[in-house]
Structure 1
Amino acid sequence: MWVRRIALLVAVFVVAACAPVSTGFGPGASVHTIKVGGLARDYRLYIPEGLPKAAPLVVMLHGWTGSAEQAQRQYGWNERADSAKFVVAYPEGVGESWNGGGCCGQASSENVDDVGFITAAVGNITENVGIDKARIYAAGISNGGILAYKLACNTDLFAAIGPDAATQIEACPAPRPTSVLHIHGTDDNLVRYDGEPGTAVPVKTLAAPELNAFWRNVDQCQPPATTVDGELTTSVATCPSGRSVELITVAGGGHDWPSFATDKMWDFFAAHPAPPA
């Protein structure tokens, strides 16, 4: 076991030595460490060239057993940021997990303050980069999407959230009006579309349409309009102050990040900044 651990450490060191990442706030990729709740917490940041003086910020939350580096590499946000000129943050969970409440792994079992961490990370970014505070958004897959809902319930930082293959586990007694785009496959066995206990979330939760209705009520939306395009069924509700609550149901879809998700989420985010105070 120790030999294997040493080999892994050497491999990590070699990769790091071959591909150094900046710790500053200039264009390109960088890694930053802040202290929250007695823990040193990391987040990766990507800033494209040609950023406007007041740019949007997308916080992308990885899933359980994922990582900030994996999310940055896999979901295409850097490439979208290059074309649309926004900043992307990739926070790192504790033990490859987030404390979304009752799920999933180390962060939940140790009651890690991930709301405090994400809040502090956003604050650290806005102190050092020109960010439009009306255009701060949270996207997340699985356990990361669960945290996105928790952030919407417990902070007023985010104009919109984009949970994918996720649900809302904890009670949300005082939710903040927030635009929501939820994407979910009907055949997801880890976080089930119908809200029944699944492999990752072992408790009953609101089904995806019920959760969508919860946020329509929070945002005082009009009844939704539904369209069907092949395997995608999209429910769109318009709400006061320019907000929207939407659900994209993927027929037969599993527990994954669909190929269309990044573009759909960015288009949704761009169309739904926070209204003027």
Structure 2
Amino acid sequence: MRVIRTGAAAALAVLAMTCAAGSVATAGTAGTGGSGAGAGTGETTVHTVDVGGLERSYRLYRPASLPEKAPLVVMMHGGLGSARQAERSYGWNAEADRRGFAVAYPDGYGRAWNVGDGCCGRPGRERVDDVAFIGRMVTEIRRELSVDPARVYATGISNGGMMAYRLACDSTVFAAIGPVAATRLGGCPAPKPLSVIHVHGLADRMVRFDGAPGTGIARIDGPPVRAVLAGWRATDRCGRPAVSRSGAVTAERARCRHGRAVELITIEGAGHQWPGGEVVRERADPPYPGLDATAVIWRFFAAHPER
């Protein structure tokens, strides 16, 4: 395994890429994310591992003061995004500084993830084993850091959020997942019960809330998000969701057996974006400013360790 250290003194790295599934890279400082949404005061290291004959890479952010038995959040970029872009765009480093957890940012093969049903890009066509890669990454991080195995979580946007669902379906590593602007593709016959928080803009045209075919290169045609969440409520043996509204934001929260929960947050008028994240490229859907999705997802994760 190769490790490269970056930090506050790292050179400015400029990325400009579009994301067919919604995430977009912007200029930022390697390691700390510069002064934008991803800013942090700790250190980022870049790692490579061989999985299935492919060299895979990930970034690992550690706050300056990381407690023993710390939680770990895996944050997965969207299609055509990158680990560096995800670190820069969504504010997880700053949240990790405040709350005391580590963050891993894996790089998708060909800037995409194999999430099922042939999606997406090269990983989908070539059947790349991204579940094995993420599992290996978590194992390597646990060798390096004191990570609480009961507090390992996965989140992501768009294709990365779909990957969070794939991990929930095909692995037993995670206590909870937090997909944003995503749906579940591929089979999921017998998942391990775990907590789920899902965030979605109701005006999302790329990954549509109602399950209709989306726009963009990938043309995502997944099940309706409500059907996906209903499946998880059945798996987790949940009660009826309680509904609350605040302006454009609606939260549907279901309490489940063994302290688990399934929560759906929808935003009227919001498109394909990470609420509270960075402003992205011209013509991309703007982040909804009235919700900090990173803080909301972290609070949910913190309340739902493995039971």
What is the TM-score normalised by the length of structure 2? Answer: 0.81
Q: Does 1:74 align with 2:74?
A: no
Give the AA of the match of 1:258.
P
Aligned to 1:183: 199
Aligned to 1:127: 143
Give the AA of the match of 1:40.
E
Aligned to 1:194: 210
Structure 2 matches for 1:1-277, cutoff 5 A?
28-101=43-116, 102-200=118-216, 201-202=218-219, 204-259=221-276, 260-275=292-307
SS at match of 2:104: strand
- Which structure has greater helix proportion? 1
Taking the aligned partners of 1:119 and 1:74, their CA distance within structure 2 comes to 24
SS at match of 1:255: coil
SS at match of 1:174: coil
Q: CA deviation at 1:204?
A: 3.7
SS at match of 1:107: helix
Q: 1:228 to 1:124 in 2, by over 3 A?
A: same
Give the AA of the match of 2:247.
G
Taking the aligned partners of 1:203 and 1:190, their CA distance within structure 2 comes to 7
Taking the aligned partners of 2:64 and 2:209, their CA distance within structure 1 comes to 39
Taking the aligned partners of 2:253 and 2:52, their CA distance within structure 1 comes to 39
SS at match of 1:257: coil
Give the AA of the match of 2:233.
R
Q: 1:253 to 1:20 in 2, by over 3 A?
A: closer
Give the AA of the match of 2:144.
N
Greater CA radius of gyration, 1 or 2? Answer: 1
Q: 1:251 to 1:20 in 2, by over 3 A?
A: closer
Identity %: 53
SS at match of 2:231: helix
What is the TM-score normalised by the length of structure 1? Answer: 0.89
Taking the aligned partners of 1:32 and 1:204, their CA distance within structure 2 comes to 34
Taking the aligned partners of 1:186 and 1:50, their CA distance within structure 2 comes to 38
Q: CA deviation at 1:89?
A: 0.2
Runs (5+) with no aligned partner, structure 1 = 1-13, 22-26
SS at match of 1:51: coil
Runs (5+) with no aligned partner, structure 2 = 1-10, 14-28, 32-41, 277-291
Q: CA deviation at 1:211?
A: 1.0
Q: CA deviation at 1:64?
A: 0.3
Which contiguous aligned blocks of 4+ residues in structure 1 show a shift greater than 6 angstroms?
none
Q: Do the aligned residues in 1 keep the contact of 2:206 with 2:215 (CA within 8 Å)?
A: yes
Q: 1:56-91 deviations in whole A, cap 9, x for unaligned?
A: 000000000110000001100000000101000000
Taking the aligned partners of 2:62 and 2:220, their CA distance within structure 1 comes to 39
Q: Do the aligned residues in 1 keep the contact of 2:65 with 2:100 (CA within 8 Å)?
A: yes
Q: What is the aligned-residue RMSD (CA, Å)?
A: 1.6
* Alignment length (residue pairs): 256
